[in-house]
């Protein structure tokens, strides 16, 4: 693409522009916004996992001081135009989708289902009043285990469907039957990738503020534009009368990529009562009513020749979707399919995904969303295959890697990987980890009863959602598109504002987008402000999730800024009596090529654009701004090689991560400091899943992990500092060459951690343990192996 | 609840006289009554530490203290950690080291870290990690937070005199 500044801001470790507010307590999150006259909302939630509502007695609550209204699902029936939305409609496949109303009508399907809404004048008094709403239930049979839910005679979550199976979706390429029949070695494994929570430290919250016919919804969301679009349909309010604002958002991790019942309820109540209404989720509510992630049981088969050449892979995935379908619920398990073959050449791949209803809350996107699960299968199966063949697991990987010169590479499933250098990241990793020395140390430690192990993950992931036609209605079947937008406006005195349709919640786009724009405008990034998260400001956009924002939203910024640069050159040329093609942007100056003393600054050019001098031709439109909408031609495929070293206490089963090395490749860095930060957080999220975290329901569907006391997220004390490194393989898909990195660590790390534990315990005969690798599970696996020989 | 009691809250050097419900949590008094919204709430069980403040110089989770219990006790919140327009060395280090992403846990993390450094001005990495285990962060993996606290420890003793906490 045409000229960027000679000493570019892109690539520099710049301190974030966002931070001065946040480190001084001046951030503005949802609960920090106060509107006079606001009424508070508390939700009465089901205590039953599955029941018919016999009666709701509101009288004791209604009469309390400060209570304005108590409303049930029946009371609110006229306030909602349509039930909650699910947007995946794959061609040729029916997905069972029950009517899901924001407040239950007649039956509840999981613990935490909204049963009634209390509105009042005070934060505390509405919670008091909610406890005085008396609901009488007739319990119905409950099912929580997805495989039992598929058995004949299982209790049904939705009787009208006659089954708990929501859908079956298949994708395949190559001749899997022949591959399995002809292979020298075929290995199989059942794996459980358990249910987890997003765990953003800020819970959800909404403030709906009516003004005349228009309602503004402030919501802690990742998707303000999608939210407005869907709310308009669910509430029958035209979009021009709805404004959605995402203020500072205290973490998302996919859990705020959703349209939730409480968002619909808040707008409906603001409209009904014509008063501002606010709801701030408690952590206990978040654990039961903010969507969960993962929760699948995977049956994986991997086939190879005796020399280690992979010949085929088959997977059957049983995905526990919970009680309802939310925005992307049934689609998330399938999102891993493009990278099911990992970074390996596998000529035949065959995948079947089954969704299942259970009496739990919905699953949906949580950091990685389908790709951590796919990476977990393939990486651990590679280790098992190496063990079976008596090969070194890294040599087995190298033998099957797609080679650098083979890109773009089209997989058996027809997915085209854009670029990669899988040997390069593995080589770099092994420069940092002396494996021979490690093996010697491991032997010495084992002799002293210390079980140390190393696990590897050479991952590839798919992100950059997305080519709209590939994933849209006639492609994969999402009733949506995934381009992104940017509007770049240079002000008369030479500072600039970038409006983006993306909506960050910690990623640092105020800084990285300013860096991208700065190089292309010739303006210092400190004089460029990035505006996001407000549907009344800037162009439509699809939001921030799926590691898409730099490669799609950032590219939109680059394109809009180049359009502004082109116009600035045209104006400059007119002012300097030169040809536009002779103007070059160097060190913030628009100068005549070959005559460096003849130049204009952006402030001079923008001044002339806004207040045109006589010499500026009248056919140049006034003003200096441009908009770009960018729909990529392909996904991008970041990759890397990770190694985890753990110590396992064989007496207690406790696992300690003692070293973690990550070599990632996401193309040319925009701000390397921000990339490292994303990798650190991503790895930690995965260590949390691998070792500590699990959302647990008991057999009656009661949520056992209802608070942060029971849901164990890692603290600083459980972790080492991380070692990070990078290689740089540009993507040909966008002009920046960038790929996403927000989920890379989470996608890479669960197999590395699990493999490290299995490596540590190999001398004790432990062949498999399902996550989370808690002391109890590890201890039990050791005991079982010692007493009963190696398990399957 | 109609019964209220008088409470004098001494926050960041200013005294506020409030009439509050006896059950009002200190964090809600700070946020909803005094408009000091830098102190955040992230859980209901005192696990996350987002609400950490200094009560009489010690790090305390303000969701676990009633406003009436803080009557007359010097309180410092994130807004008062450094003089207006300035930064405490720990705040500066958080900025330099990219020790925050979404920023929600950050005020509590900074208040916990400053109290830690007051008790132990030259901590080891492990002492920092254990000292912060009452504060959850989901974004950073703690790597850069630990780095920032260690970096701040190196400059803190020199500059602490220039950045005393604002207390009455």
Nearest to A23 among B50, B110, B130 (CB): B110
Are B120 and B57 part of one and the same domain?
Answer: no
Return the sign of the alpha-carbon dihedral for residues A473, A479, A482, A484. Answer: positive
Query: Chain A residues with CB inside 8 Å of B32's CB?
Result: 123
Classified as helix, coil or strand, A630 is strand
Q: Does B39 touch chain A (CB under 8 A)?
A: yes
Nearest to B129 among A15, A251, A717 (CB): A717
Please indicate whether, in this complex, the C-beta atoms of B139 and A681 are within 8 angstroms of each other: yes
| Residue B131: domain span | 89-162
Nearest to B141 among A25, A200, A719 (CB): A719
Nearest to A26 among B21, B38, B41 (CB): B38
Please indicate whether, in this complex, the C-beta atoms of A715 and B142 are within 8 angstroms of each other: yes
Are B121 and B57 part of one and the same domain?
Answer: no
Are B121 and B59 part of one and the same domain?
Answer: no
Query: Which residues pair with residue A45 across a beta bridge?
Result: A114
Residue-level pLDDT at B155: 81
Are B125 and B66 part of one and the same domain?
Answer: no
How far apart (Å, rounded) are the C-alpha atoms in residues A594 and A610?
28
Q: Does B52 touch chain A (CB under 8 A)?
A: no
How far apart (Å, rounded) are the C-alpha atoms in residues B31 and B13?
16
Please say if the pLDDT value at position B157 is more than 90.
no
Give the global pTM. Answer: 0.97
Please indicate whether, in this complex, the C-beta atoms of A19 and B141 are within 8 angstroms of each other: no
Please indicate whether, in this complex, the C-beta atoms of B87 and A23 are within 8 angstroms of each other: yes
Nearest to B140 among A15, A249, A677 (CB): A677
Query: Which residues pair with residue A218 across a beta bridge?
Result: A207, A245
Q: Does B72 touch chain A (CB under 8 A)?
A: no
Structure letter (DSSP) for residue A361? P
Query: Chain B residues with CB inside 8 Å of A289's CB?
Result: none
Find, in chain B, the residue whose alpha carbon is nearest to that of A21. B103
Q: Does B58 touch chain A (CB under 8 A)?
A: no
Please indicate whether, in this complex, the C-beta atoms of B103 and A684 are within 8 angstroms of each other: no
Are B11 and B60 part of one and the same domain?
Answer: yes
Q: What is the separation of C-alpha B32 from the centre of its chain, rounded to a whole number of angstroms?
A: 17
Please indicate whether, in this complex, the C-beta atoms of A24 and B31 are within 8 angstroms of each other: no
Are B19 and B68 part of one and the same domain?
Answer: yes
B22 located within any domain: yes
Both structure tokens of A489: 């406006």
Please indicate whether, in this complex, the C-beta atoms of A201 and B138 are within 8 angstroms of each other: yes
Are B9 and B76 part of one and the same domain?
Answer: yes
For residues B66 and B24, the answer to whether their CB atoms sit within 8 Å is yes
Residue of B142, B151, B163, B165 to mutate, interface with A, max A Cβ within 10 Å: B142
Are B123 and B148 part of one and the same domain?
Answer: yes
Phi, psi of A368 (to 5 degrees): 105, -45
Residue-level pLDDT at A555: 98
Structure letter (DSSP) for residue B104? S
Query: Chain B residues with CB inside 8 Å of A681's CB?
Result: 101, 138-141
Q: Does B106 touch chain A (CB under 8 A)?
A: yes
Specify the residue for token string 């050019």.
A605
Residue-level pLDDT at B2: 61
Phi, psi of A663 (to 5 degrees): -115, 115
Residue A140's CB is within 10 A of a number of other CB atoms, namely 18
Please say if the pLDDT value at position B159 is more than 90.
no
B44 located within any domain: yes
Please indicate whether, in this complex, the C-beta atoms of A18 and B136 are within 8 angstroms of each other: no
Please indicate whether, in this complex, the C-beta atoms of A249 and B102 are within 8 angstroms of each other: yes
B168 located within any domain: no
Q: Which CATH number characterizes residue B24's domain? A: 3.10.20.30
Query: Chain A residues with CB inside 8 Å of B42's CB?
Result: 201-203, 250, 283
Residue where one domain finishes, among candidates B57, B80, B103: B80
For residues B39 and B9, the answer to whether their CB atoms sit within 8 Å is no
Please indicate whether, in this complex, the C-beta atoms of A684 and B102 are within 8 angstroms of each other: no
Find, in chain A, the residue whose alpha carbon is nearest to that of B131. A717
Minimal CA–CA distance to A252: which of A562, A685, A557? A685
Residue A707's CB is within 10 A of a number of other CB atoms, namely 16
Q: Which residues contact A623 (CB under 8 A, 6 or more apart)?
A: A609, A610
B29 located within any domain: yes
Q: Does B36 touch chain A (CB under 8 A)?
A: yes
Residue-level pLDDT at A6: 61
Q: Name the strand (E) or helix (H) holding A376.
A: helix A371-389
Please indicate whether, in this complex, the C-beta atoms of A23 and B23 are within 8 angstroms of each other: no
Q: Which residues contact A712 (CB under 8 A, 6 or more apart)?
A: A688, A692, A693
Minimal CA–CA distance to A383: which of A756, A641, A686? A756
Nearest to B48 among A249, A708, A721 (CB): A708
Please indicate whether, in this complex, the C-beta atoms of A25 and B79 are within 8 angstroms of each other: yes
Q: How confident is the model at residue B156 (pLDDT cuts 50, 70, 90)?
A: low
Q: How many angstroms away from the CA of A592 is the closest CA of chain B?
A: 38
Query: Chain A residues with CB inside 8 Å of B39's CB?
Result: 25
Residue where one domain finishes, among candidates B63, B80, B97: B80
Q: How many angstroms away from the CA of B142 is the closest CA of chain A?
A: 6
Find, in chain B, the residue whose alpha carbon is nearest to that of A508. B101
Please indicate whether, in this complex, the C-beta atoms of A506 and B103 are within 8 angstroms of each other: yes
- What chain A holds in terms of domains, given with CATH numbers, is 19-26+484-630 (3.30.365.10), 33-140+202-250+256-289 (3.90.1170.50), 292-465+634-786 (3.30.365.10)
Find, in chain A, the residue whose alpha carbon is nearest to that of B86. A24
Q: What is the DSSP string of A198-241?
A: ---SS--EEEEEEETTEEEEEE--S-HHHHHHHHHHHHT--GGG
Query: Chain A residues with CB inside 8 Å of B91's CB?
Result: 23-24
Q: How many angstroms away from the CA of B103 is the closest CA of chain A?
A: 6
Structure letter (DSSP) for residue A601? E
Query: Which residues pair with residue A319 across a beta bridge?
Result: A296, A355
Please indicate whether, in this complex, the C-beta atoms of A721 and B125 are within 8 angstroms of each other: yes
How far apart (Å, rounded) are the C-alpha atoms in residues A271 and A485?
31
Are B39 and B76 part of one and the same domain?
Answer: yes
Q: Which CATH number characterizes residue B128's domain? A: 1.10.150.120
B167 located within any domain: no
For residues A196 and A693, the answer to whether their CB atoms sit within 8 Å is yes
Q: How confident is the model at residue B161 (pLDDT cuts 50, 70, 90)?
A: very low
Q: How many angstroms away from the CA of B99 is the closest CA of chain A?
A: 8
Please indicate whether, in this complex, the C-beta atoms of A123 and B32 are within 8 angstroms of each other: yes
B144 located within any domain: yes
Are B43 and B68 part of one and the same domain?
Answer: yes
Are B35 and B94 part of one and the same domain?
Answer: no
pLDDT in tens, B86-139: 999 999 999 999 999 999 999 999 999 999 999 999 999 999 999 999 999 999
Looking at the structure of chain B, the number of domains it has is 2
pLDDT along chain A (792 residues), means of 10: 67 97 98 98 98 98 96 98 97 97 98 98 97 98 98 98 98 98 98 98 98 97 98 98 98 98 98 98 98 98 98 98 98 95 97 98 98 97 98 98 98 97 98 98 95 98 93 95 97 98 96 98 98 96 95 98 98 97 95 96 98 96 98 97 98 97 98 98 98 98 97 98 98 98 98 98 97 98 84 44
Q: Does B152 touch chain A (CB under 8 A)?
A: no
Beta strand A114-120 with A39-45: parallel, antiparallel or unpaired? antiparallel
Residue where one domain finishes, among candidates B80, B99, B134: B80
Nearest to B47 among A16, A65, A708 (CB): A708
Q: Which residues contact A63 (CB under 8 A, 6 or more apart)?
A: none
Specify the residue for token string 């006259």.
A37
Q: How many angstroms away from the CA of A742 is the closest CA of chain B?
A: 10
B26 located within any domain: yes
Residue of A15, A17, A22, A248 to mutate, interface with B, max B Cβ within 10 Å: A22
Are B13 and B39 part of one and the same domain?
Answer: yes
Nearest to B103 among A22, A253, A683 (CB): A22
B137 located within any domain: yes
Find, in chain B, the residue whose alpha carbon is nearest to that of A283. B43
């Amino acid at each position: 693409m045409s000229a960027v500044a000679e000493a570019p801001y892109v690539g520099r470790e710049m301190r974030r522009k966002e931070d001065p507010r946040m480190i001084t307590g001046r951030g503005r999150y949802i609960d920090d916004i106060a509107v006079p006259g606001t009424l508070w909302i508390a939700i009465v939630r089901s205590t039953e996992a599955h029941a018919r509502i016999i009666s709701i007695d509101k009288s004791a609550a209604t009469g309390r001081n400060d209570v304005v209204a108590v409303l049930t699902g029946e009371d609110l029936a006229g306030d909602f135009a349509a039930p909650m939305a699910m947007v995946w409609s794959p061609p040729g496949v029916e997905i069972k989708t029950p009517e899901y109303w924001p407040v239950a009508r007649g039956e509840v399907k999981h613990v935490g289902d909204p049963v009634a809404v209390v509105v009042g004048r005070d934060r505390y008094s509405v919670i008091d009043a909610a406890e005085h709403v008396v609901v009488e239930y007739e319990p119905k049979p409950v099912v929580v285990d997805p495989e039992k839910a598929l058995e004949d005679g299982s209790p049904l979550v939705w009787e009208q469907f006659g089954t708990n199976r929501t859908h079956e979706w298949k994708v395949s390429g190559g001749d899997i039957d022949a591959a399995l029949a002809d292979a020298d070695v075929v290995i199989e494994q059942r794996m459980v990738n358990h249910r987890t929570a997003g765990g953003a430290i800020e819970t959800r919250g909404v403030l709906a503020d009516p003004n005349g016919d228009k309602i503004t919804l402030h919501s802690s969301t990742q998707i303000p534009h999608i939210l407005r679009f869907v709310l308009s349909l669910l509430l029958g309010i035209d979009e021009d009368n709805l404004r959605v604002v995402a203020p500072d958002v205290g973490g998302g991790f996919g859990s705020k990529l959703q349209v939730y019942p409480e968002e619909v309820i808040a707008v409906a109540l603001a409209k009904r009562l014509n008063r501002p209404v606010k709801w701030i989720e408690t952590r206990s509510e978040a654990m039961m009513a903010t969507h969960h992630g993962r929760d699948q049981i995977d049956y994986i088969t991997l086939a190879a020749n005796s020399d280690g050449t992979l010949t085929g892979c088959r997977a059957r995935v049983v995905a526990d979707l919970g009680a309802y379908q939310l925005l992307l619920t049934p689609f998330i398990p399938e999102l891993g399919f493009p990278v099911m073959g990992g970074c390996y050449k596998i000529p035949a791949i065959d995948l079947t995904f089954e969704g299942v209803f259970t009496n739990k809350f919905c699953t949906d996107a949580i950091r990685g969303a389908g790709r951590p699960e796919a990476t977990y299968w393939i990486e651990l199966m590679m280790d098992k295959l190496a063990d079976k063949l008596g090969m070194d697991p890294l040599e087995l990987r190298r033998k099957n890697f797609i080679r650098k010169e083979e890109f773009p590479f089209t997989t058996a499933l027809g997915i085209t990987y854009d670029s990669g250098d899988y040997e390069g990241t593995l080589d770099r990793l092994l420069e940092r980890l002396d494996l021979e020395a490690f093996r010697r140390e491991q032997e010495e430690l084992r002799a002293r009863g210390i079980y140390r192990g190393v696990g590897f993950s050479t991952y590839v992931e798919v992100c950059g959602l997305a080519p709209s036609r590939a994933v849209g209605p006639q492609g994969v079947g999402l009733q949506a598109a995934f381009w992104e937008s940017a509007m770049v406006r240079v002000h008369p005195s030479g500072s600039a504002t970038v409006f983006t349709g993306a909506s960050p919640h910690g990623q640092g786009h105020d800084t990285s987008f300013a860096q991208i724009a700065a190089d292309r405008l010739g303006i210092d990034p400190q004089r460029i402000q990035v505006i996001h998260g407000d549907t009344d400001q800037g162009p439509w956009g699809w939001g921030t999730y799926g590691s898409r924002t730099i490669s799609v939203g950032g590219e939109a910024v680059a394109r809009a800024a180049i359009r502004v640069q082109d116009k600035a050159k045209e104006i400059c040329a007119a002012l300097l009596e030169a040809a536009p093609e002779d103007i070059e942007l160097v060190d913030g100056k628009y100068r005549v090529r070959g005559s460096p003393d003849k130049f204009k600054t952006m402030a001079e050019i923008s001044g002339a654009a806004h207040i045109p001098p006589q010499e500026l031709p009248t056919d140049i439109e006034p003003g200096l701004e441009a908009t770009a909408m960018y729909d990529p031609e392909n996904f991008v495929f970041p990759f890397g090689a990770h190694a985890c070293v753990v110590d396992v206490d064989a007496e207690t089963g406790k696992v300690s991560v003692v070293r973690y090395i990550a070599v990632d490749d996401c193309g040319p860095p925009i701000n390397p400091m921000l990339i490292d930060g994303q990798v650190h957080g991503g790895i930690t999220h995965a260590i949390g899943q691998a070792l500590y975290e699990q959302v647990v329901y008991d057999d009656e569907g009661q949520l056992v992990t209802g608070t942060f006391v029971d849901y164990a997220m890692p603290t600083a004390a459980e972790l080492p500092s991380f070692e990070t490194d990078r290689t740089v393989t540009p993507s040909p898909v966008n002009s920046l060459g960038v790929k996403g990195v927000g989920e890379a660590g989470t996608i890479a790390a669960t197999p590395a951690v699990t493999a490290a534990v299995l490596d540590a315990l190999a001398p004790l005969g432990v062949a498999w343990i399902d996550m989370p690798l808690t002391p109890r599970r590890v201890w039990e696996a050791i005991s079982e192996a010692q007493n009963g020989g190696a398990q399957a | 609840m109609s019964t209220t009691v008088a409470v004098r809250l001494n926050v960041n050097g200013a005294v506020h006289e409030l009439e509050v419900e006896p059950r009002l949590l200190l964090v809600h008094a700070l946020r909803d009554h005094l408009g000091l919204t830098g102190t955040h709430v992230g859980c209901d069980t005192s696990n996350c530490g987002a609400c950490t403040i200094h009560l009489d110089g010690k790090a305390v989770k303000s969701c676990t203290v009633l406003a009436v219990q803080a009557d007359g006790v010097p309180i410092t919140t994130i807004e008062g950690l450094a003089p207006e327009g300035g930064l405490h060395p720990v705040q500066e280090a958080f900025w330099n080291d990219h020790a925050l992403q979404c920023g929600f846990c950050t005020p509590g993390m900074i208040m916990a870290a400053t109290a830690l450094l007051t008790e132990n001005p030259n901590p080891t990495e492990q002492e920092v990690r254990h000292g912060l285990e009452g504060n959850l962060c989901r974004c950073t993996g703690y790597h850069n937070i630990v780095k920032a606290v260690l970096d701040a420890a190196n400059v803190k003793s020199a500059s602490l005199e220039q950045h005393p906490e604002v207390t009455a």
